[in-house]
């Protein structure tokens, strides 16, 4: 009897703490819970003009849920120095430590200004890849990005002019140049880029914020956006790369400091400002996850909505290993969230 019981007991113990070499499919739904929580907690701050309060609520909620996830995660892309965040900072360990070892990139609200102003396209985002496979953009806050769908692979590049890229992409997609639409962040630094796009004959889709959604839309076949170009956040670029891997699209980046101070820090950190970073440079793993939940309505996802006693969320889950894209519609009983608030008090 003792000989039988011992192996069974050992088997049960091993089942309590499974060990995985890589993130597996069960991780997706665990991550969705964290982005859903962050998006829901941000809702009271939509249109209230306080982006720091919105971000703080989302950070707190995401971190709480990530602590329960079965993985050993290290934040590579976090709130970081740029946001002076006390939680979800670069280098922080998250998860319960009993699963796969992962690099984690988080943006509890991609579009805090959008949320504070009550504008569209704010998202809560998490990206995951195998440990040691995400590009670490230490001290590099901005990069030039070029993102498009699978047709762009081997056709466009940051080493070409935007006009040439537009013309080559139009040929690859068998469309007229006039039909091409390029998404660009609406910033003074992009005034010349916008003029060049229009001079080439293409149209623009100007974004107030949220270039993660812009990049993803540029890679989705059903989107009206064909390309996303211009300088945006380097952390957001790495997060976007995890999504583009799953969508089979094209992406390149090149560091683009926007101030003398940033330029000095980037050089001191050993970065090469002339190097064009391919998709595999931004994230080398072929097993990436990208999870996003809409905070406010947008082209990519619907925002959080209250429907009577229910809170409705819409999320997008992408996995590069399987090439799958799933939309998750969830209805949460509002009273349960009120209970969580009372427990926190």
Please indicate if the annotation marks 210 as binding a ligand.
yes
Which residue has 């091409």 as its token pair?
A: 180
Please indicate if the annotation marks 236 as binding a ligand.
yes
Please indicate if the annotation marks 189 as binding a ligand.
yes
DSSP 3-state of 255:
strand
**Could you write out the DSSP letters of every residue in 30-61?**
HHHHHHHHHHHHHGGGTTSS-HHHHHHHHHHH
CA distance 75 to 117: 28
Query: Exposure of 201 by Cβ count < 10 A (0-12 exposed, 13-18 middle, 19+ buried)?
Result: middle
| CA pseudo-torsion sign 245, 247, 249, 253 | negative
Please indicate if the annotation marks 79 as binding a ligand.
yes
Q: Are 232 and 147 in contact (CB under 8 A)?
A: no
Please indicate if the annotation marks 294 as binding a ligand.
no
Please indicate if the annotation marks 107 as binding a ligand.
yes
Q: Are 139 and 234 in contact (CB under 8 A)?
A: no
Please indicate if the annotation marks 289 as binding a ligand.
no
Please indicate if the annotation marks 72 as binding a ligand.
no
Please indicate if the annotation marks 211 as binding a ligand.
yes
Please indicate if the annotation marks 333 as binding a ligand.
no
Please indicate if the annotation marks 142 as binding a ligand.
yes
Long-range contacts of 171-176 (CB under 8 A, 24+ apart): 173/226
Please indicate if the annotation marks 209 as binding a ligand.
yes
Q: Are 161 and 260 in contact (CB under 8 A)?
A: no
Annotated binding-site positions for substrate: 110-112, 142, 187-189, 209-211, 233
Annotated binding-site positions: 55, 79, 107, 110-112, 142, 187-189, 209-211, 233, 236
Annotated binding-site positions for Mn(2+): 55, 79, 107, 110, 236
């Amino acid at each position: 009897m003792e000989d039988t019981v011992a192996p069974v007991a050992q088997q049960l113990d091993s089942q309590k703490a499974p060990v995985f070499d890589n993130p597996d499919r069960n991780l997706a739904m665990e991550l969705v819970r964290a982005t859903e929580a962050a998006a829901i907690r941000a809702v009271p701050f939509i249109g209230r003009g306080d982006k720091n309060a919105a971000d703080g609520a989302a950070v707190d909620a995401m971190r709480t849920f990530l602590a329960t996830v079965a993985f050993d995660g290290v934040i590579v892309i976090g709130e970081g120095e740029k946001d002076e965040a006390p939680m979800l900072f670069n280098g922080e360990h998250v998860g319960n430590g009993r699963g796969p070892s992962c690099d984690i990139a988080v943006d509890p609200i991609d579009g805090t200004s959008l949320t504070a102003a009550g504008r569209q396209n704010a998202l809560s985002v998490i990206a995951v890849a195998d440990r040691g496979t995400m590009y670490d953009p230490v001290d590099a806050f901005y990069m030039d990005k070029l993102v498009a769908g699978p047709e762009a692979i081997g056709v466009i590049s940051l080493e070409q002019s935007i006009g040439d890229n537009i013309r080559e992409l139009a040929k690859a997609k068998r469309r007229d140049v006039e039909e091409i639409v390029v998404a660009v962040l609406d910033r003074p630094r992009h005034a010349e880029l916008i003029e060049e796009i229009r001079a080439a004959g293409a149209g623009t889709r100007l974004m107030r914020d949220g270039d993660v959604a812009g990049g993803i839309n540029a890679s989705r076949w059903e989107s009206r956006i064909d390309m996303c170009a211009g300088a945006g956040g380097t952390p957001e670029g790495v997060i976007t790369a995890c999504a583009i891997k799953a969508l089979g699209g094209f992406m390149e980046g090149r560091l683009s400091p926007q101030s003398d101070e940033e330029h000095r820090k980037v050089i001191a950190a050993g970065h090469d400002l002339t190097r064009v970073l391919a998709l595999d440079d931004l994230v080398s793993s072929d097993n990436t996850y990208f999870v996003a939940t809409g905070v406010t309505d947008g082209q990519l996802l619907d925002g959080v909505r209250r429907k009577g006693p229910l809170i409705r969320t819409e999320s997008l889950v992408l996995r590069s290993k399987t090439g799958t894209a799933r939309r998750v519609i969830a209805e949460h009983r509002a009273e349960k969230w009120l209970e969580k608030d009372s427990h926190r008090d």
